[in-house]
Amino acid sequence: MIKLYDTTLRDGTQAEDIAFSVEDKVRIAERLDDIGVHYIEGGWPGSNPRDIEFFKAMRGVKLANARLASFGSTRRAGVSAAADASVKALLASNTPVVTIFGKCWKLHVERALRVTLSENLDMISETVAYLKKRADEVFFDAEHFFDGYKDDPVYALKAIVAALDAGADYIVLCDTNGGAMPFEVSAITGEVVRRLGKAANIGIHSHNDSECAVANTLLAVEAGATMAQGTINGFGERCGNANLCSIIPALQLKMRRPCISAARLKKLRALSRFVYELANLPHFKHQPYVGESAFAHKGGIHVSAVLRSPQTYEHIKPELVGNRQRVLVSDLSGRSNLIYKAAEYGVDIESRSEAVQEVLTRLKALEHQGFQYEGAEASFELLMHRALHERERYFKLIGFSVIDEKTSEDEPPRSEATIKIEVDGEVEHTAAEGNGPVNALDAALRKAIYRFYPAIKSVKLLDFKVRVVAGAQGTSAKVRVLVESGDGKDKWGTVGVSDNVIEASWQALVDSLEYKLFKDRKKATKARMRKDL
């Protein structure tokens, strides 16, 4: 079995825009343990108070699968391991595993540490030996190993042998600058495995500066490494670390090198999204295996084939990693896309019916105008039901006006919207203010229809995006407005397109509220049908 060593909580936090609180780190550690990671590197207790607090907090957390590791460096030059403050902090963290890094590249020894080559080897061996007597496991991160090996293979090997002879349980070969190529990592790792023999446990720790971190990790395993290090979503300083969300399924499903159970592998996508959320970062939808678009199909020919046999355009079953197949709708769509989407929405539609052709024709015309339905599937569902003459119009717009007024240089603008609608023959005329024209229009619309449809109270606007459809026209260009809404149970996206941003926003807002009413009515109808049965 390949051991997984996660360093999201240490190396991952060195990424730009990443800042986890102590509570965040504890929650992530619990999720890593749940998915079956073998080792969790919690931080560097000798470098900052937050990591010290994390290790204290983790004393009250019982891990079922993982072992917690603290991270630090070898002793300083001229100081014994017993007297070194960093080494003391490692032991004070009270973790069963201690990982230290040491220099393997002569450049770093002579220019960064400014010690002799011999003294550096003593720093490695003495620190490992001291810690091994006081911790269950000691891992040695051979920093800059591949660069060091290419510069002077004899010295790089001496450095890791010093750690191995001192009792290190794992020798981890690090591509710290992220510049090694896959063929180099494969050849060098294979040579290390051959030189050290079967008694040595070898790990791999890759950075992604050359976009090769995952490939380097997999090839190192193929060459004999039995531990793969990385971070969830590839978080890490500069260009990031090797991405465990790609490494784990590649090892498990492609290379037949088990690392976690099949049941736990299904939790991978949820873990990826959980870490993104705690990092307060948008999910990378095009991320392999776990991204929203990883198994999304748009071209009609692709969809037609996937419906017959998913493996025609899917390299694995998405469910294996907790993902799902998605079919997108666009001007590239064919009948297969529409039939697939109709089935997804519970709409009974035949592939050769006039309704399919009507939706397809309408869809292509709308997308030519700038509409986009990949992120607005609620608008697409309403479009499909309209083509089938099943969509109910809940209100009729008679007219609206929006006023923006700024009365002082130092004061923010004031927005007011007035709206007149008709519901079942009744006319409602009302107005509302907002912090912008779209907000005011949204407030006025809700105020006008609330007494007819009180269910809209639960609808919240979660995201609002404006995109220029044809940039060459400058401020007169068409704009596309994408709105994401939710009611605490579901989320849905709607779209509007116009030369006027207020009109585009109105289209998306109307679809958003109508979809809520449509969705609730559909659920109520299904409930009645089940009751009648």
pLDDT at 353: 67
- Averages of pLDDT over runs of 10 residues in the chain (533 residues) are 97 94 93 97 91 95 97 96 96 97 96 95 98 98 98 98 98 98 98 92 98 98 98 97 98 97 95 88 90 82 75 91 78 58 61 66 72 75 75 87 88 92 94 92 94 94 80 63 87 89 94 92 75 65
Global pTM reads 0.71
Distance CA 493, CA 50 (A): 39
pLDDT of residue 343: 63
Q: Characterise 205 by phi-psi region: left (phi > 0), alpha (psi -120 to 50), beta (else).
A: beta
Res 532: pLDDT:
66
- Side-chain half-sphere CA neighbours of 235 within 13 A: 28
SS3 state of residue 328: coil
Q: At what angle do helices 335-344 and 300-308 cross, to 10 degrees?
A: 60
Question: Which pLDDT belongs to residue 472?
Answer: 47
Q: What is the pLDDT of residues 208-246, one digit of tens each?
A: 999 999 999 999 999 999 999 999 999 999 999 999 999
DSSP code string of 132-197: HTTSSEEEEEEETHHHHHHH-HHHHHHHHHHHHHTT-SEEEEEETTS---HHHHHHHHHHHHHHH-
The CATH homologous superfamily to which domain 3-260 belongs is Aldolase class I (3.20.20.70)
**pLDDT value at residue 164:** 97
Whether 182 contacts 222, CB under 8 Å: no
Whole-angstrom distance, CA of residue 312 vs CA of residue 303 = 10
The full set of domain ranges for the chain reads 3-260, 395-452
Return the H-helix or E-strand segment holding 434. Answer: strand 426-434
pLDDT digits (tens, 9 = 90+) for 428-479: 999 999 989 999 999 999 999 999 999 999 999 888 888 787 654 555 578 8
Is there a contact between 72 and 95 (Cβ–Cβ < 8 Å)?
no
- Answer yes or no: same fold for 3-260 and 395-452: no
Angle made by CA atoms 211, 247, 255, in degrees to the nearest 5: 115
What pLDDT score was predicted for residue 329? Answer: 59
State the pLDDT at residue 1.
Answer: 93
3-state SS class at 106 = helix
Burial 159-171 (b: 16+ CB within 10 A, else e): bbbbbbebbbbbb
Question: Over the stretch 332-382, which tens digit does the pLDDT of each residue have?
Answer: 555 566 666 666 655 666 655 676 667 767 766 776 777 767 667 888 888
Q: Name the 3-class secondary structure at 326.
A: strand
Q: Per CATH, the architecture of 395-452 is what?
A: 2-Layer Sandwich (3.30)
